[in-house]
Amino acid sequence: MASIGKITGVNGNLIRVKFESAVSQNEVAYAKLISKNEAGKTEIIPLKSEVIRIRGDYAELQVFEDTTGLKAGDEVEFTGELLSVELGPGLLTQVFDGLQNPLPKLADECGFFLQRGKYLKALPRDKKWAFTPVAKAGDVVVAGDTLGTVPEGVFSHRIMVPFKLLGKWTVDYITTAGDRVVEDVVAKLKNDKGETVDVTMVQTWPVKMPIKAFEERLRPSKPLTMQQRIIDTFFPVMQGGTFCTPGPFGAGKTVLQQLMSRYADVDIVILAACGERAGEVVETLREFPELIDPRTGKSLMERTLIICNTSSMPVAAREASVYTGVTLAEYYRQMGLNVLLLADSTSRWAQALREMSGRLEEIPGEEAFPAYLESVIASFYERGGVVRLKDGSTGSVTICGSVSPAGGNFEEPVTQATLKVVGAFLGLSRERSDQRRFPAIHPLDSWSKYEGIIDSKKVAQARSILANGVDVNNMMKVVGEEGTSIEDFIVYLKSEYLDAVYLQQDAYNEIDAACSAERQKYVFDKIYTILMTPMTFTEKDVARTFFLKLTQATKDWNRVAFDSQEFKDLESSIFASVKEVSANA
């Protein structure tokens, strides 16, 4: 029997409830709002809530809706279930809110404005899936083992033994191949105690509990190529690794996310828009169905899942949207797939935590964020990683958190807490964005702990050229170009050349927008050779003109197909011009 409570206080989206029988942390409850509809009739609207603190006979709950109209004495019904998501076929191509309500279907039922207290099933109940059994009667299985498969887009979606089942179970019955809806029983399991369980194609799992139905967690060892040269070469990311992209507003985080979504070497992309402005989310929703997936030639949405919780939606649901995203990512990892989770922006999530912590009257930490902010952020990123499944296959979840520090200040608490746990830091720069140098990742402030596709010694030398070029540029701002030696001026021109032709990419050019690992290795080796070539110039104007022409020729080289004759011809032309100014010629 569900526990019943009475509201004793309302503070924004936090309610205090006196309960009668036992309740648990993170349990879902419904606050019953008494309201009158347009016809003047009284109706009860259930507002979904989550228990976040228990003290004696009182529980404090965060409400995932606007609490206007709730008052002391209103009833709250506890469900006895933790905040959970539905897992099963039909997740891909969907757009959910933070509580996994399918937004397109919700819009069809509610109209232009979403209604309070309206909750829908995440998975379509009427769609039929072509089920193919894998297990057979008599097989001994454990949580996470595959019972059968259904096709979902280009993937084979595994129907697995529910993750909540403990110990060993025997397949007592499994259905034959054929079309089934997600609520049809596809298998019956029995354990040694004689307990039986009906298995359907849909299961639920608490969002704040990691899915651990795998054999072993492995160290990330394979580079995750994004086909963005500045990332793959200078600040690489591993499959199953973690990284963050802090940056001020307008520095290009959203565009960079879309590029990574399209070209990253992963099977599934999950976008968790956590508190971002509605305009940016709408742009994503409009553009993703139009983007062509280079791996399949179909719409990128076919392997994408979007969780949308904009800044205009309830603040409490921001936390739920982050955990919903990582739980769905873990689910697809259990199928042996590689998943990229892009959380945008974790700063909004942290602000929601700060707001709730203030209402709970907890002792504040730095800048009024909760004192446990670092541990909460760390526990989220820990849910990424590479795992070996019980059938020997591997899957991975790579987590990228976009951080939006106020004024681009990377010293603020959310950025610093994130930097302590991630493996790579891709810091976006307002200065580079203003100079139209995209991707606007700062090549000197950023770092990565991972090994990339290019020799690290060569990369370190290239970065030293960039750093020396910046030093010379700063010096020229003081003493002028005429006070700079020709040797220093060549160092500056080489750094600008490297920046223009390798760190920057043209997202509007079909070829230059994505640079394969093979091409990056080849091109970097050639450009490295140019950078290491000692050059002789008599005048600075001659040197400047030479590098301007060299930069344009190399940009043209970047825009032609790798295996074409034009590519070879341009390469020959570039090196012929370099040979003319070489000090060793």
Return binding residues for ATP.
Answer: 247-254
Question: Which residue in 237, 218, 242 sits closest to 227, CA to CA?
Answer: 237
Binding-site members are 247-254
Nearest to 265 by CA among 453, 420, 434, 429: 453
Beta strands in 275-410 (DSSP E): 304-309, 338-344, 385-388, 394-403
Structure tokens at 134: 């894998």
Rounded to whole angstroms, the Cα distance separating 217 from 389 reads 9
* Cα–Cα distance, 119 to 575 (Å, whole number): 64
Please name the amino acid found at residue 375.
S
With a CB cutoff of 8 Å and minimum separation 6, the contacts of 315 are 13, 275, 351, 352, 355, 356
Per the structure block, which two tokens stand in for 466? 């960039």
Contact in structure between 99 and 117 (CB atoms under 8 Å):
no
Q: Which of 124, 157, 165 is nearest to 141 (CA)?
A: 165
Segment holding 47, helix H or strand E = strand 42-55
DSSP class of 230: I
Q: What is the spatial distance between Cα 282 and Cα 430, in angstroms, rounded to a whole number? A: 24
Per DSSP, 482 falls in state G
Cα–Cα distance between 396 and 39 in angstroms, integer? Answer: 53
CA angle 406, 255, 248 (to 5 degrees): 10
Q: Could you give the angle at which helices 540-558 and 486-498 cross, rounded to 10 degrees?
A: 10
- The residue written with tokens 């070996």 in the block is 388
Partner residues linked to 207 by β-bridges: none
Contacts of 364 (CB under 8 A, 6+ apart): 357, 358, 370, 371
To 5 degrees, how large is the angle CA 419–CA 321–CA 433? 50
As given in the structure block, the two tokens for residue 121 are: 């099933």
Enumerate the H helices of 155-268 as residue ranges.
229, 253-263
